[in-house]
Amino acid sequence: MLRKFLVSAALGTATIANSALAQTTARPEGGKPVARAEVSAQARAAMHVNARVLDDLKQFVPDEETRAKMLLRMVILAKQEAIATSCAGYGLDQQRMFTMMLRTTMPLLDEKTPKDVRTANLNRALRQYNTLLGGELAQFSFNPNEYCDYAKTLMDDLGGYSEADTILVLKRS
């Protein structure tokens, strides 16, 4: 169930990220084009950063499903790290973060791939994670109160902290 959610959400994220390259995007209701100016600067920044990361991931993660899951997981982890860094009352479970990043990048560690290629791909993926984190921190700067208010919703959406399958690494401090 979680796998299906992650794949569908990641594909949606990838589609949205690619639409950022166009001057218009479609509204959910009726599919009418929306002028770029009607999309908030915060949303445009997020779409642009995600599109850039997705473009780079395509170069070394050839499988679309794997790439989509990786992107979604990195976006969710970066958002939580940005909240923990920027919002009072929140922290990051560092051990769980390590575990989640390892799970996220596991497809890059295939033993069939030469070690130097695995290392280069892992480094590249981690740079892209940091790009996403920078994008999240920029989104925070647009509206810090709204961004921090979203933290509770994010924690609720990601499920209970003790659940083994959750990607939740954010905690109340």
pLDDT score of 95: 94
**CA atoms 127, 128, 129, 135: torsion sign:** positive
Over range 55-80, report the average pLDDT. 96
Question: Is pLDDT at 42 greater than 60 in this prediction?
Answer: yes
Tell me which H or E stretch contains 73: helix 64-86
For residues 161-170, give the mean pLDDT. Answer: 75
pTM to 2 decimal places: 0.79
**Average pLDDT of the residues in 129-156:** 93
Average pLDDT over residues 40-48: 89
